[in-house]
């Protein structure tokens, strides 16, 4: 059969798209009744006269789907829902059968590991879960230290779900109050975390200093009279905070908005953002650079390291970016800051090895050699903001495990900006509920435990492991 419009033989598992702007025809594959959104980036057209450059028309179509109403973000084997026909299945088992015959822990096993457990595996799983229900006594003290509730005026559960979406003066003022609190306390909490780590008493935020100078004061003040942080370091940290304040819809900002779409309070949104940024693929990038440089050891080892990178034996951290296909514009700014910080007299006099630091020399050699190597330049692998920021933080004396905190403090501003924009958007807030492509089991019937055949599998992820208990 030939399609009279396209001239292609069918039926076929693809979509034929004709761009009426250019007359070009595109073939978009269909798999599991799903098309890939990235395939639409291939559909490009010249910008129209007067069109906004930000439309990026020449770079391909974007797919808009407010609230993820019809966007699948993952292939999943876990849960299948057919809303039109009232069907809900866990791993292929109808919810009606599980509710009638199963237990919560057995269903938990099913959802996590993919099959109903044998009695042996269920006994392991149940014992481990119940054994781990006891909390450390210190956790009791932590819970007792919390007040009965937090700011009542910030809690939608107490003040109504439209607390932050009404857009009247009172609502806007209340929203601003929470924003002030979060930004103001971000440096205080970060400094407190640092002081606890160092075994030092907390320092009350001073008056008369800039945001970053106050932050440095709270971390470094040891009782000296008239102590003032280095102006060079305060300015460097200020610029670093500017560079890290926002970066569009990155992982943590998306997490904040995903959480905020349920109309929860902004503090919970910030906590969700912190959890996302804490992941090594997001907030751990500059720490990875330092660990890479430590593993290289000395400047003379850089050539061998780069060769191992080309062979895919080692990973080059701090170069390239998922978004920037040429160079990271922040890297040029941060390189200038790095030069100033490494020469700062306050650091040199404090004993921090900056200008003579072996790690810094290794970084400089790595940077220069990579930027002259056709292998890396042809792949547009230029230093990004993380390459230099980790070195700067290290030179300033921050421990590596504190780097994500230094990322969070400025990024709360970006998170709050996105959250506020969502709360005030025309048409209200629609909860984010993305789709999935279900590729798991089709309908199957519940089998009582004593009648199950234990499925032998080579996949360790398909069964629970008993844990050694040492007290």
Q: Which two tokens stand for residue 173?
A: 């003022």
Q: Which long-range contacts (CB under 8 A, 24 or more apart) does 356-359 make?
A: 357/395, 358/298, 358/299, 359/290, 359/293, 359/294, 359/391, 359/394
Annotated catalytic residue: which of 220, 265, 328, 386? 386
Annotated catalytic residue: which of 244, 265, 321, 344? 321
Q: Which residues pair with 27 in a beta bridge?
A: 16
Annotated catalytic residue: which of 101, 282, 357, 373? 282
Q: Which residues pair with 72 in a beta bridge?
A: 435
Query: In sequence order, which residues have a C-beta less than 8 Å from that of residue 385 and are 6 or more positions away?
Result: 243, 244, 328, 330, 331, 334
469 a catalytic residue: no
Name residue, tokens 């798999």. 31
Residue 367: closest CA among 393, 345, 338: 338
Cα-flanking dihedrals φ and ψ of residue 45, to 5°? -150, 155
CA distance 277 to 251: 7
DSSP classification of residue 146 = S
Q: Which two tokens stand for residue 353?
A: 């090895």
247 a catalytic residue: no
13 a catalytic residue: no
- Residue 62, SS3 per DSSP: coil
Measured CA to CA in angstroms, residue 10 lies from 1, 26, 30 at distances of 5, 16, 13
Please confirm whether the linkage preceding 11 is cis (ω < 30° from 0).
Answer: yes
Residue 288: closest CA among 411, 403, 395: 403
Cα-flanking dihedrals φ and ψ of residue 87, to 5°? -110, 130
Residue 38: closest CA among 72, 11, 69, 67: 72
Mind telling me the catalytic residues?
Answer: 282, 321, 386
């Amino acid at each position: 059969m030939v399609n009279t419009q396209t001239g292609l033989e069918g039926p076929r598992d693809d979509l034929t798209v004709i761009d009426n702007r250019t007359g070009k025809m595109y073939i978009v594959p269909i798999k599991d009744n799903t098309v890939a959104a990235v395939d639409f980036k291939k559909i490009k057209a010249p910008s129209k006269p007067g069109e906004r450059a930000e439309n990026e028309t020449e770079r391909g179509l974007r797919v808009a789907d407010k609230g993820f109403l019809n966007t699948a973000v993952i292939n999943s084997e876990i849960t299948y829902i057919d809303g039109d026909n009232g069907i809900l299945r866990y791993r292929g088992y109808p919810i009606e059968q599980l509710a009638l015959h199963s237990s919560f822990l057995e269903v938990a096993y099913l959802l996590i590991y993919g099959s109903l457990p044998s009695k042996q595996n269920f006994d392991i799983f149940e014992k481990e879960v119940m054994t781990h229900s006891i909390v450390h006594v210190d956790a009791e003290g932590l819970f007792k230290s919390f007040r009965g509730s937090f700011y009542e005026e910030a809690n939608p559960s107490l003040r109504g779900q439209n607390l932050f979406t009404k857009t009247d003066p009172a609502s806007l003022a209340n929203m601003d109050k929470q924003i002030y609190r979060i930004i103001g306390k971000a440096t205080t909490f970060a400094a407190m975390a640092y002081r606890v780590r160092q075994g030092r008493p907390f320092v009350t935020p001073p008056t008369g200093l800039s945001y970053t100078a106050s932050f440095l004061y709270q971390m470094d003040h040891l009782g000296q009279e008239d102590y003032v942080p280095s102006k060079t370091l305060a300015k460097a940290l200020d610029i670093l905070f500017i560079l890290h304040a926002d970066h569009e819809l990155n992982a943590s900002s998306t997490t904040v908005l995903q959480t905020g779409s349920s109309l929860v309070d902004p503090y919970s949104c910030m906590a969700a953002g912190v959890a996302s940024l804490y992941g090594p693929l997001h907030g751990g990038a500059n720490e990875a650079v330092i660990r890479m440089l430590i593993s290289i050891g000395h400047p003379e080892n850089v050539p061998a390291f780069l060769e191992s990178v080309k062979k895919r034996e080692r990973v080059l951290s701090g170069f390239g970016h998922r978004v920037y296909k040429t160079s990271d514009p922040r890297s040029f700014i941060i390189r200038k800051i790095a030069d100033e910080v490494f020469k700062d007299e306050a650091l040199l006099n404090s004993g921090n090895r900056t200008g003579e630091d072996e790690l810094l020399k290794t970084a400089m050699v790595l940077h220069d050699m990579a930027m002259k190597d056709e292998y890396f330049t042809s792949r547009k692998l230029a230093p990004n903001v993380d390459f230099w920021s980790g070195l700067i933080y290290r030179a300033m004396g921050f421990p590596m495990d504190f780097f994500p905190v230094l990322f969070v403090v400025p990024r709360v501003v970006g998170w709050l900006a996105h959250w506020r924009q969502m709360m005030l958007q025309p048409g209200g807030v629609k909860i984010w509920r993305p789709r999935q492509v279900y590729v798991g089991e089709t309908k199957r019937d519940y089998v009582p435990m004593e009648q199950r055949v234990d499925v032998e599998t080579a996949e360790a992820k398909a069964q629970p492991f008993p844990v050694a208990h040492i007290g």
